[in-house]
Amino acid sequence: MRFLVFVLALVASVCFGQQDLHDTQCPLCAMDVIPSLNQSFKGNQAVYACEMAGHLETLANPASNVLRGAVALSGSTLEPPYTRAHMGCPVCGSTDLKYSMRWGSQGNQKLYTCSKEHADMILADQKKYYVDNGVQLESNGFCKHASVMFDGFQSSVHSTCVKLFFQPWVLNSSVKYAFGFIGIVCMGILLEWLGEYREEVEKKFLDKYGITQSMDQEATLHDNSQPSQAPLLVSTAASSLIQPTTKIIQQKTIKLPLWCTIVLSVLYMIALTMGYLIMLVAMLYETGLFIAAILGLGIGFYLFKETEQDEMSGNIDPCCST
């Protein structure tokens, strides 16, 4: 019985004795890794990737040549984060590890082997030593994982899924992606419409509820109060010194009642929220959804902008314009 417990403990330590994932960085960008994003190798070894779209695919793809040549280990213990890992050579399973191959130029990940020959065998055919035969590479679905970070403009089709606005909103099927696309187009149209609608409401409010306040202001204009206009001063100096010109300026201001300004403010806040959401879509760097955002704003402009107006202007910056 005691022997059985010992064997179980040994098996468990071999199976679960992993590297310290809190201290493991992505070989491509040195960001912290996500434990679920990994490509495991035989011998209880693995390479881990960060959340950035496409980084795991790059690591698992032998053609990207991220794995560097073998270097002999200097000491008998492995470097962090592998100090407590129970690993074996992916080729022969030997736990007597003598060589390491560095993953990329960033981070601290390595692949260990028993000998230079076995390291070269892995470099020659990396995929052969994958535990799951590199199933992660073949995407039979629409896309996999989920990310809000794309490394430059990319499409999520057959690549990393888009996480749109909220944690559970992962567009991981063609139907969900289509809904996302249509939703963003609609948001763009709605934002353009809202801009026009807000202007109309403001005009109506001013016509209906605006209270005109006129204030008569007596302004005394001394020509010599403007020292910057030197030539003018010279020509009129003589007359103005004798009689300062006095003008009555009538100022008209239209004030809206409080509830009208509140309604206009709420409309403004709704437009601002939508503008920011569209900006977040653009910042995803997902090609399809970026096109959806631009398409929506374009259709909205076409449908709702008053083309008879002398000046046609759209909101170039959807988030920050008033």
Q: List interacting residues with Zn ion (CB under 5 A).
A: 26, 28-29, 50, 52, 55, 89, 91-92, 94, 114, 118
Q: Can you tell me the distance from the alpha carbon of 292 to that of 182, in angstroms, rounded to the nearest whole number?
A: 7
Q: Which of residues 61 and 94 has its CB atom nearest to Zn ion in the complex? A: 94
Placement of tokens 């002999």 in the chain: 72
Least distance between Zn ion and beta carbon 141 (Å): 22
Classify residue 219 by burial, with Cβ atoms within 10 Å: 0-12, 13-18, 19+. Answer: exposed
Q: Which of residues 81 and 180 has its CB atom nearest to Zn ion in the complex? A: 81
Q: Which of residues 29 and 267 has its CB atom nearest to Zn ion in the complex? A: 29
* Contact of 26 with 49, CB cutoff 8 Å: yes
Least distance between Zn ion and beta carbon 32 (Å): 9
Least distance between Zn ion and beta carbon 98 (Å): 9
Least distance between Zn ion and beta carbon 90 (Å): 7
Q: Which of residues 50 and 161 has its CB atom nearest to Zn ion in the complex? A: 50
Least distance between Zn ion and beta carbon 49 (Å): 6
Q: Can you tell me the distance from the alpha carbon of 128 to that of 38, in angstroms, rounded to the nearest whole number?
A: 16
* Amino acid symbol at 243: Q
Q: Can you tell me the distance from the alpha carbon of 239 to that of 219, in angstroms, rounded to the nearest whole number?
A: 18
Q: Which of residues 104 and 275 has its CB atom nearest to Zn ion in the complex? A: 104
Q: Can you tell me the distance from the alpha carbon of 36 to that of 234, in angstroms, rounded to the nearest whole number?
A: 82
Least distance between Zn ion and beta carbon 95 (Å): 10
Q: Which of residues 55 and 163 has its CB atom nearest to Zn ion in the complex? A: 55
Q: Which of residues 151 and 196 has its CB atom nearest to Zn ion in the complex? A: 151
Cis peptide before 227 (omega within 30 of 0): no
Least distance between Zn ion and beta carbon 59 (Å): 9
Residue environment code for 253-271, b if the CB has 16+ CB neighbours within 10 A, otherwise e? eeebeeebeeeeeebeeeb
In what helix (H) or strand (E) does residue 232 lie, and over which residues does it extend?
helix 230-242
Q: Can you tell me the distance from the alpha carbon of 126 to that of 47, in angstroms, rounded to the nearest whole number?
A: 12
Least distance between Zn ion and beta carbon 279 (Å): 24
Q: Which of residues 28 and 289 has its CB atom nearest to Zn ion in the complex? A: 28
Q: What residues contact residue 100 under an 8 Å CB cut-off, 6+ apart?
A: 70, 71, 73, 78, 110, 111, 112, 113
Do the bridges between strand 144-147 and strand 160-163 make them parallel or antiparallel, or are there none, so unpaired? parallel
